[in-house]
Amino acid sequence: MTTSQPKVNFRELLKRPICFLGLGFGTGLAPKAPGTFGTLAALPIYWLMQDLSLAIYLAITIIAFVVGIWICQKSADWLGSDDPSAVVWDEIVGYLVTMIAAPTGWQWMLAGFVLFRIFDIWKPWPISWADKNLHGGIGIMVDDVIAGLFSILILQLSLILF
């Protein structure tokens, strides 16, 4: 997995709408912790989606995942790397997965953010397996979706237990 920062600027990124999405509306250009900044870009998206019905929320999240495979592949191709750290659409979708059926409120948004970042950085199995063995757009997306599934499990268990 290559984690080099792209040699692009925001102006160039705006000329490529697919890459603009792939790089999380520019957040992937952050010089440090682009994954964290990409997840921050997911917060207003989730905030706008949080009151949707579960069916619509799931439909949008699934579409974002499926289209995200293509978005991430195109962005990675443009950057000339298999899994560049600047491509953060996967973090956006991973966070949306984390927040499926979450209660509304900033505390839950923060808890989901922290949980998702922990699993995305720590990469316990099978996240680490997916990260190492899947490539291209699907590989970029799947490890973050699995991190989102781990996070939603903890978030929903905390609802039940507390």
45 neighbors 60 (Cβ within 8 angstroms): no
Whether cis (ω within 30° of 0) applies to the bond prior to 6 is no
Residue 39 pLDDT greater than 50, yes or no:
yes
pLDDT bin (cut points 50, 70, 90) of residue 10 is: confident
Q: 0.85 cut: is pTM over it?
A: yes
Q: What is the mean pLDDT of residues 132-149?
A: 97
Q: Say whether pLDDT at 93 is over 70.
A: yes
| Helices and strands (H, E) in the chain, number of each type | 8, 0
> Residue 1 — very low, low, confident or very high, per pLDDT cuts 50/70/90?
very low
